[in-house]
């Protein structure tokens, strides 16, 4: 038993369709296409809450509580491969308002499912010794489901 995992060996998959429901079984029914050459994988778990503050003139302490939440964006980086089927789906989704499904398989075999809009999918530039990379930002639309 190890006391931690690394990101090495993790994989990202995409499906242009949405699941019938936000359940593990519904996500497992989808047909997945691997996004190749991922070089940097972010977290796809968690929420970021805003704070709501209330001040009363007869008290010196401001009271803060959790307000609304946002699902943080996920920014992936990958080696740009023009004909990689997963990268093609990502790129095409960046040009419309669709909400594809995603599956992230971790080194440990743990799986994360979520849906997201592809905000951007760009090919990078650089200098003579730089690899051509792709960058995409996913606007998570649903809480991530652990399988």
**pLDDT reported for residue 4:** 84
**Residue 4 included in any domain:** no
- Quote the mean pLDDT of the chain: 94
Strand partners, 53: 64
pLDDT tens column, 33-68: 999 999 998 999 999 999 999 999 999 999 999 999
Domain with residue 20: its CATH number is 2.40.30
Of 80, 134, 90, 82, nearest to 116 by C-alpha is 90
For residue 96 the two structure tokens come to 């419309």
**pLDDT reported for residue 3:** 81
pLDDT tens column, 87-102: 999 999 999 999 999 9
**pLDDT reported for residue 1:** 54
**Residue 110 included in any domain:** yes
**Residue 93 included in any domain:** yes
pLDDT tens column, 90-137: 999 999 999 999 999 999 999 999 999 999 999 998 889 989 999 999
**pLDDT reported for residue 6:** 87
114, 105 Cβ separation under 8 angstroms = no
**pLDDT reported for residue 2:** 66
pLDDT tens column, 1-30: 568 888 899 999 999 999 999 999 999 999
**Residue 62 included in any domain:** no
**pLDDT reported for residue 143:** 95
Number of domains comprising the chain: 1
**pLDDT reported for residue 117:** 97
**Residue 68 included in any domain:** no
**Residue 50 included in any domain:** no
**pLDDT reported for residue 97:** 97
Structural domain boundaries, residue 78? 11-45+73-146
Whether pTM exceeds 0.75:
yes
**Residue 88 included in any domain:** yes
**Residue 95 included in any domain:** yes
3-state helix, strand, coil in the chain (%, to 5): 10, 40, 50
């Amino acid at each position: 038993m190890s006391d931690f995992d690394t990101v090495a060996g993790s994989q990202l998959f995409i499906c242009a369709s949405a699941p019938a429901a936000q359940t593990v079984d519904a996500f497992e029914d989808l047909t997945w296409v691997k996004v190749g050459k991922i070089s940097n994988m972010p977290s796809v778990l968690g929420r970021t809450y805003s704070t709501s503050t209330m001040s009363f003139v007869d008290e010196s302490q401001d009271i803060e509580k959790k307000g609304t939440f946002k699902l943080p964006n996920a920014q992936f980086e990958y080696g740009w491969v023009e004909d990689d089927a997963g990268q093609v789906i990502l790129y095409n989704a960046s040009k419309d308002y669709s909400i594809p499904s995603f599956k992230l398989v971790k080194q440990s075999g743990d799986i994360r499912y979520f849906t997201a809009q592809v905000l951007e999918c760009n090919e990078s530039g650089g200098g003579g010794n730089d690899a051509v990379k792709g960058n995409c930002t996913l606007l998570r639309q649903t809480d991530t489901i652990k399988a």
